[in-house]
Amino acid sequence: MNYIALLLLAGFSSVDRNAAFHIMLSRPLVLSTIIGLLFGNVYLCFLSGLLIELFGNIDVPVGTKISKDDTFMAYSMGILVSFGIIQTLSDYLLGLLLVIIFVFPVTYVDMLTRKWNQHMLDKYLKYRIYKSPFGILIKGITVAFLKGVVLYNIFCLIAAFILVRIEDYLSIQGEITAYIFLIASFLAGYLIRFLSFKSVYKYIIFSSGLLLGWLVI
């Protein structure tokens, strides 16, 4: 039942973020904590969601700008922590790096679905292909739900597979330097948000620094 609840949580959190409800279920802090309640690791999932909330400071949504899908990040990291795939801080840094990479295709799909929603609305206004706009709303909610169920879980599984394969080859141990690097990386991420260029370059800079720091550790 927990796994069914997890799939429903992925779908409804995506709907909450992109289409309807807007009851803050999609916020990283809330979503990660719920995953922790489902699988018995509330404290670490809570901390994971809190860190991802801070990480979201890099990409500030202004106007029609689509911010990176931190709901997916929280969902993936919550699962990686709850299922014991992430056990040390170094694991967390590497897992976060993988999730950052996969957040781009997830966000790109979000952009495509928004364009599709706009296209459906334009067709409705021009041709009146629906008797009411509720048909468009239902389709938009359904697509958002499927996006969460399918994409969130597929990319989470890929990240988990890569992380486990790397752990098979490397002995990753958490040290005090990892804590120092984690604090520095999030402080750097907060400063990067104020730079006036595309967010994709900000994420590349941030991820490159994260990867370099992990290699050093």
Alpha carbon of 52 to those of 9, 74, 122: distances in Å?
A: 18, 7, 36
Q: Which two tokens stand for residue 108?
A: 């790109």
What is d(CA 215, CA 109) in angstroms, rounded to the nearest whole number? 31
Inter-CA distances, 102 with 38, 73, 118, 177, 203, Å: 24, 9, 25, 26, 12
Tens of pLDDT, residues 88-110: 777 888 888 889 889 888 988 88
Question: In angstroms, rounded to a whole number, what is the distance separating the alpha carbons of residues 180 and 91?
Answer: 15
- H, E, C per residue of the chain: CHHHHHHHHHHHHHHHHHCCCCCCCCCHHHHHHHHHHHHCCHHHHHHHHHHHHHHHHHCCCCCCCCCCCHHHHHHHHHHHHHCCCCCCHHHHHHHHHHHHHHHHHHHHHHHHHHHHHHHHHHHHHHHCCCCCCHHHHHHHHHHHHHHHHHHHHHHHHHHHHHHHHHHHHCCCCCCHHHHHHHHHHHHHHHHHCCCCCCHHHHHHHHHHHHHHHHHHC
Whether the per-residue pLDDT at 216 is higher than 90: the answer is no
Q: Is the pLDDT of residue 205 over 90?
A: no
- Of residues 128 and 48, more confidence is placed in 48
Q: Do 210 and 96 contact (CB within 8 A), yes or no?
A: yes
User: Average pLDDT of 109-125?
Assistant: 79
Model pLDDT for residues 15-43, shown as the tens digit of each residue:
998 888 888 999 999 999 999 999 888 99
What is the rounded average pLDDT of the residues 4-15? 93
Per residue in 149-204, pLDDT (tens digit) is 999 999 999 999 988 887 776 654 445 556 566 666 666 655 555 555 676 777 77
Q: What is the pTM (predicted TM-score) of this model?
A: 0.76
Are the C-beta atoms of 167 and 91 separated by less than 8 Å? Answer: yes
The C-alpha atoms of residue 21 and residue 115 are separated, in whole angstroms, by 20
